[in-house]
């Protein structure tokens, strides 16, 4: 955290970090949920400064505040200080690392990190179940194909994530993409481990993946999750892992939209939710929209907060697993589905398994199931072609 001392000193809490570009809404997930200044980026800056100066102890309450950050990057996007804003999240994650090293993390964070360390997945489920998402699809194990497909923890174990992973595999197969999977040998990518500040565990996970992929001769990777895409694209190169990696929407955007046989599905009005780790973290806004706009019978309408101003679902930074943000009417996921429904869209389209689960649950909590459904980009693609 000493590396970021100058950042902590210079922040004077102007508040732009809490807002989108229009200044009309609250766009920091934690501040939106709790409405206390300590939960804002500026508030965290001052708390970390006090911790660095030993004016504040590493308490459970401080842990709740620091780990409520969804690492969505809105503060980075809208900070007025261009000279240091790119390092704001680095400072927050460094603060988390201090608490991890001190053993003063919230219970949900502790349990998540323990499950990853001991069992290789967030739920402590059997390692031999990781590849079951592909049962019956006839997919090939990776053996030099053009791409290695990574589905991630959520794609492998979560029911909603498995549905997305299976759909994506079918869509890629129909489009003639040469890819293979690792079955039970796929391992967690470590993006959330890094975001939670457990850097030693992240490095162990990343180096294990890099070594395995090197042995297999992997050159190109396509991911289901933007979180895995971020880890491989931005974090792995620092450890010697350089790959040609893409998110699946980028790959689909390069391919023909589908065969000529339309499914005959009725026209639908959709709105698209930008995942933070695909959008703000990696500046990919065009590919998913390009895919949707090419589909027959699909009309895309935008929410007020879109692209760099998109409101996070609240699942980033480990919150999908640790639930430090918790629920309630002001939970960012519930605010987001209300915004989506206000567009008149019938379908809220996502490109991330964490977003899909978060927003699916929010639709149910808001009692909107008869008005709004949540679909992944690949699911929309499959629904449009026979």
Task: Give the CATH number of domain 126-254.
Answer: 3.40.50
Which pTM was predicted? 0.95
The mean of the pLDDT values for the chain is 92
| pLDDT score, position 58 | 83
The beta-strand segments (E) located in 198-354 are 220-223, 244-247, 268-272, 298-300, 347-350
DSSP of 335-350: HHHHHHHHTT-SEEEE
In this prediction, residues 237-256 reach a mean pLDDT of: 94
Percentage of the chain surpassing pLDDT 70? 95
Contacts of 79 (CB under 8 A, 6+ apart): 16, 17, 41, 85, 88
Domain with CATH 3.40.50 in the chain: 126-254, 268-384
197, pLDDT greater than 80: yes
pLDDT score for 326:
76
Cβ-proximal residues to 169 (8 Å cutoff; 6+ apart), any chain:
134, 137, 139, 149, 181
pLDDT for 300 beyond 80: yes
Pick the CATH number of 268-384 from 3.30.70, 1.25.40, 3.90.930, 3.40.50: 3.40.50
Q: What is the pLDDT of residues 113-170, one digit of tens each?
A: 999 999 999 999 999 999 999 999 999 999 999 999 999 999 999 999 999 999 999 9
Structure tokens at 308: 């760099």
Task: Give the pLDDT score at 303.
Answer: 97
Q: What's the angle, vertex CA 87, arms to CA 59 and CA 278, rounded to 5?
A: 100
Banded model confidence at residue 375, pLDDT cuts 50, 70, 90: very high
Contacts of 149 by beta carbon, 8 Å cutoff, 6+ apart: 168, 169, 172, 179, 180, 181, 221, 222, 223, 224
């Amino acid at each position: 955290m000493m590396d970021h001392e100058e950042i902590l000193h210079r922040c004077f809490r102007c508040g732009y970090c809490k807002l989108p570009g229009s200044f009309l809404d609250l766009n920091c997930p934690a501040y939106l949920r709790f409405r206390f200044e300590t939960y804002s980026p500026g508030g965290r800056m001052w708390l970390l400064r006090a911790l660095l100066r030993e004016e504040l102890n590493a308490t459970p309450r401080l842990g709740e505040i620091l780990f409520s950050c969804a690492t969505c990057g809105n503060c980075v996007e809208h900070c007025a200080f261009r000279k240091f804003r790119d390092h704001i999240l680095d400072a927050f994650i460094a603060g988390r690392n201090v608490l991890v090293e001190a053993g003063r993390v919230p219970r949900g964070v502790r349990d998540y990190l323990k499950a990853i360390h001991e069992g290789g997945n967030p739920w402590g489920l059997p390692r031999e179940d990781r590849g079951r998402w592909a049962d019956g699809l006839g997919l090939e194990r990776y053996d030099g194909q053009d791409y290695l497909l990574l589905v991630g923890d959520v794609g492998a174990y979560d029911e909603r994530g498995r549905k997305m992973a299976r759909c994506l595999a079918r869509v890629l197969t129909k489009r003639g993409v040469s890819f293979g999977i690792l079955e039970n040998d796929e391992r967690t990518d470590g993006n959330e481990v890094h975001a939670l500040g457990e850097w030693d565990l992240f490095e162990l996970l990343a180096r294990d993946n890099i070594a395995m992929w090197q042995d297999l001769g992997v050159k190109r990777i396509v991911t289901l999750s933007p979180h895995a895409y971020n880890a491989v694209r931005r974090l792995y190169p620092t450890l010697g892992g350089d790959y040609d990696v893409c998110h699946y929407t980028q790959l689909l955007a390069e391919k023909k939209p589908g065969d000529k046989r339309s499914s005959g599905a009725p026209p639908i009005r959709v709105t698209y939710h930008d995942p933070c780790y695909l959008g703000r973290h990696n500046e990919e806004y065009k590919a998913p929209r390009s895919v949707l706009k090419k589909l027959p019978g699909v009309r895309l309408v935008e929410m007020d907060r879109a692209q760099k101003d998109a409101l996070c679902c609240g699942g980033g930074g480990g919150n999908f697993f640790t639930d430090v943000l918790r629920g309630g009417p002001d939970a960012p996921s519930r605010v987001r589905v209300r915004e989506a429904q206000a567009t008149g869209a019938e379908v809220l389209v996502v490109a991330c398994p964490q977003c899909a689960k978060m927003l699916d649950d929010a639709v149910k909590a808001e009692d909107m199931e008869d008005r709004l459904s949540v679909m992944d980009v690949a699911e929309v693609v499959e629904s449009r072609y026979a």
